[in-house]
Amino acid sequence: MHEGVKRLIDQGYEAYLVGGCVRDYLLGKPLHDVDITTNATPNEILAVFSDYKTFDVGIRHGTVGVLIDKNIVEITTYRKDNDYENYRRPKEVTFTSSLVDDLKRRDFTMNALAYNEIDGLIDCVNGQEDIKKRIIRAVGNPDVRFNEDALRILRALRFKGQLGFEIEPKTKAAIYKNYHLLDNIAGERINQELNQLIVSEFVDDVLKDFKEVIEFLVRQPIRTEAISYISRSLEVRYALLLSNSEIAHLKLDKKRTQLITFLIENRDRQLGTTVYTLLKDLSEFNHKQVVYLAQLQQVKIDHLLSEIKDKRLIYNIADLQIDGNQLIKMGYKQGPQIKVLLNLILEAVMSGILHNDTKSIQEWLIKQ
């Protein structure tokens, strides 16, 4: 039994693991963030964990952070929400003694599950069945859920991208009906959810099914090409997704904004069609830019690397069929110019104007 749950139960309170950690456990995924729900009030929670380090992560809303096994566990009093304001937060929170009331206020059925080793799984919204069917379904009326907290709309898309679940029809319809409410959410909160979506495994399915919503969020048309095949680099995926580099509203940090802007401006650049011209085209950029450009043009880079292997192409001096000693025997003076000459030979071989065999190289040098 989880240490936090056990401590509360031992002190006479109800306590359960709740939400995403229960969902992930049922999916066989590793647990990261652990949340606990309890009938203990915030002051009672503080008293139970008086010998632990605690944090005010939302005591006004019933949540206390407790450092357990080097992780901050959020422990929240059972509550039922009343009217919301600004499409994000309840005007006031009412604590309740009912676990069922607490579960029924949550966003999606797959997240409205509670568990402890004494009572087992508590599921009053058929969340376990929806997990089995790989369905994202709002708890109760989806219009109400999204008007309470518009960020739930983007969370639904993020969960779809991460889990590969389908969003059930009524919830999907409510997303399209209400997505404009996301204008009421702080850009930083949008940024957190959207970034996780962009790097998710099933992002292409989200882009296909909710193109209009994503375009509303990024404030520009999005390109239709798939982005999930590329490395899970936020910068590279944004560069493939966006149609232009007007991205200030995405609230990304300065370095990330600069890199994405660079990639968008260079993503359609015609990099070389041979090993030599490719390396030459990339030489003007710094190492980080080269790495990201290579990811952005992964298909082309992969093709050239395959060609290098299949045709046994060369790209460094050590692979030449001539060396410095042979050049000296041909009459060239020993010294730095030998390396310069070898680089000229390498350039000629890589560009395709010279065969990499000793005789051809010697004949080519004589003609120079």
Q: What is the pLDDT of residues 124-161, one digit of tens each?
A: 999 999 999 999 999 999 999 999 999 999 999 999 99
Gap between the Cα atoms of 57 and 289, Å rounded: 39
Provide the domain limits for residue 280. 275-310
pLDDT the model gives residue 245:
92
Domain match, 149 and 121 both: no
CA distances 137 to 170, 210, 330, 339, 364, Å, are: 8, 16, 78, 67, 72
Looking at residue 336, its amino acid is: P
Per residue in 225-280, pLDDT (tens digit) is 889 888 788 999 999 999 999 998 898 999 999 999 999 988 877 776 666 677 77
Q: Do 65 and 153 share a domain, yes or no?
A: no
21: nearest Cα among 96, 86, 73, 64: 73
Give yes or no: residues 16 and 142 share one domain.
no
Pick from 74-78, 80-84, 129-133: least confident: 80-84
Q: Considering the domain boundaries, does residue 362 fall inside one?
A: yes
One domain for residues 93 and 116: yes
82 in the same domain as 188: no
pLDDT for residue 130: 98
Same domain, yes or no, for 34 and 110? yes
My answer on whether 82 and 183 are in the same domain is: no
Among the listed residues 84, 208, 113, the one whose alpha carbon sits nearest the alpha carbon of residue 157? 208
Show which of 200, 230, 260 is a domain's final residue: 230
In a domain, 113, yes or no: yes
Examine the domain organization and report whether 8 and 129 are in the same domain: yes
Residue entry with tokens 């090409």:
225
* Residue 246 in domain: no
pLDDT band at 327 (very low <50, low <70, confident <90, very high): confident
Together in a domain, 326 and 348: yes
Residue ending a domain, among 81, 105, 133, is 133
For the entire predicted model, the pTM comes to 0.79
Number of structural domains the chain divides into: 4
Q: Are 109 and 127 in contact (CB under 8 A)?
A: yes
Q: What is the pLDDT of residue 191?
A: 94
Does residue 129 share a domain with residue 47? yes
* CATH at 40: 3.30.460.10
pLDDT score of 5 more than 70: yes
Q: How far apart are CA 268 and CA 255, in angstroms?
A: 21
Q: Exposed, middle or buried by CB within 10 Å (0-12, 13-18, 19+), for 204?
A: middle
Domain boundary, last residue among 80, 100, 133: 133
* 119 found inside a domain: yes
Q: Are residues 207 and 148 in the same domain?
A: yes
E strands, 69-202, are 71-77, 79-81, 84-85, 89-90, 93-95, 113-116, 120-123, 135-136, 166-167
